[in-house]
Amino acid sequence: MGLIEGRGKNYGVEHLLSSESGFLDELLEKRLHLSPERVHFLRDFGSVYVNHKRCLENVQIQRNTYLRVHQNPRRFPTELFQWPEQKVFENESFLILDKPSGLPVPATVDNLKENLSQLLSQTLLHTVHVTHRLDVATSGLIIFAKNKKNQSEINQKLAKSEIRKLYRALVHGENPPLGELIHFMEPSPRAPKTVCKNPQSGWAECRLRILRQKKFSPNFSEIEIELITGRTHQIRAQLAAAGFPIVGDRLYGSALQLAPYEKIGLQAFDLAFDFESENFTFQLAESPWQNPSFPCL
């Protein structure tokens, strides 16, 4: 059928350019030597793109159409989602969830199904809307809006720093310094993120404040953090650069692995904001590492 291909090596990503017309499924079956069942699974899973847009239907493809197929989509343990045990609060405008480590908040580039937004929407039988994100490996408090209007209102508050977000972290090392940490992050979509102390042209400023610290056990400390700016992996990268990597965060220097899925010693434990003339404060009383089931250090 004459498809020109390129391969995203190590990730199972196929880049294809069709030199003939036909239905999407049939073209992929023929060129990638996949069964009809496998092609249907990948398409339904959100792992197939047509002209850079995710495609969920077996559409008619024209000649010179660009296709991208993620043959090995990254999977996530959906059994970690436990409703209603993880619900902290719900009203007609938004809900607060205690996110477990190991699950993404929105869909990922190759997986439309296994994320908190999708799981919540399926459970509640209506669409919930993402307002902010926590890393896959991070646990704790997160806000989902019930409609687009509420999502926009919460997003505006986040952009104006009108929502207090506090984190607690379990880190390697003792006596982390209190006060503000300032770094600058390289503008790259890849992880791990690179940060440095000196300003660089085009690099984003990262600021957080360590409010409290205490010894957890020999060679480990627990700290409380106020996030001032909100960059991807910011807390993880800044603490590692300061010499206090988060326990379990192997991407940023920890030698420990806490679970068979992604899990690190970082929890969003405090949220506070005003919404429609009412003040809301939410807190998680205990950190996960105080639980007897948390891996021994």
Question: CA-to-CA distance for 25 and 201, rounded, in angstroms?
Answer: 46
Contact 109, 70 (CB under 8 A): yes
> What's the order of all strands across the beta sheet hosting 48-50?
4-8, 13-17, 66-70, 48-50, 53-54
Question: CA-to-CA distance for 60 and 53, rounded, in angstroms?
Answer: 14
Can 110 be counted among the known catalytic residues?
A: no
- Which residue of the set 25, 98, 110, 135 is catalytic? 135
CA-wise closest residue to 269 among 166, 115, 186, 155: 166
Give just the sign of the alpha carbon dihedral 118, 123, 129, 135: negative
Contact 203, 216 (CB under 8 A): no
Question: CA-to-CA distance for 258 and 279, rounded, in angstroms?
Answer: 36
Active site residues: 135
